[in-house]
């Protein structure tokens, strides 16, 4: 498989999640919540999680926004469900490096798995905010002290 084929596969993955997002709704007995807003594009997101001990046992989102923000939220929920909070935050860090700094080292790509599909958004600075919104919102939801409303501006 060459780089172009991989690119196409990744684009299909993002389009599929943009059209048919997974894990939509509200998590049952959620104990972590946050709202995110990206005014530049108009993306809005409400995220709810059920964390037991240090494991994310359930996560769902309700969103209104572009295909990139929807796909990112959908793929994020799949990636973090069942993971320890510590590993989720490490994933957030890697995702951030990928879309803002183009960190495509083998270590980062191996950690991110399918989320590596978002590498291409780095070329479109306004889209970085769309792709990052779900992750910023997640970070806010998991902080014990911080505000529950995040904005990319």
| Residues that bind Zn ion in the complex, under the rule CB under 5 A | 41, 43, 66, 69, 130
Closest distance between Zn ion and the C-beta of residue 18, in Å? 10
Q: Which is nearer to Zn ion, 15 or 90 (CB)?
A: 15
Q: Which is nearer to Zn ion, 67 or 97 (CB)?
A: 67
What DSSP line would sit under the chain, residue for residue? --HHHHHHHHHHHHHHHHHS-SSBS--TT--EEEEEEETTTTEEEEEEEEEETTEEEEEEEEEES-HHHHHHHHHHHHHHTT-BHHHHHHHHHHHHHHHHH----HHHHHHHGGGGGGGGGGGSHHHHHHHHHHHHHHHHHH-SSS-SEEE--
Q: Which is nearer to Zn ion, 71 or 112 (CB)?
A: 71
Closest distance between Zn ion and the C-beta of residue 88, in Å? 22
Closest distance between Zn ion and the C-beta of residue 47, in Å? 16
Closest distance between Zn ion and the C-beta of residue 87, in Å? 27
Q: Which is nearer to Zn ion, 145 or 153 (CB)?
A: 153
């Amino acid at each position: 498989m060459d780089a172009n084929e991989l690119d196409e596969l990744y684009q299909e993955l993002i389009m599929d999640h943009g059209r048919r997002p997974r894990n939509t709704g509200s998590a049952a007995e959620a104990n972590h919540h946050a709202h995110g807003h990206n005014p530049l594009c108009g993306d809005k997101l409400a995220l709810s999680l059920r964390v037991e001990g240090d494991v994310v046992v359930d996560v769902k989102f309700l969103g209104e926004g572009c295909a990139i923000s929807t796909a990112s939220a959908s793929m994020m929920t799949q990636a973090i469900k069942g993971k320890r909070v510590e590993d989720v935050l490490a994933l957030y860090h890697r995702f951030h490096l990928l879309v803002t700094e183009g960190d495509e080292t083998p270590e980062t790509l191996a950690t991110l798995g399918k989320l590596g599909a978002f590498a291409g958004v780095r070329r479109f600075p306004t889209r970085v905010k769309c792709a990052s919104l779900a992750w910023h919102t997640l970070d806010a939801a998991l902080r014990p002290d911080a505000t529950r409303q995040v904005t990319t501006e």
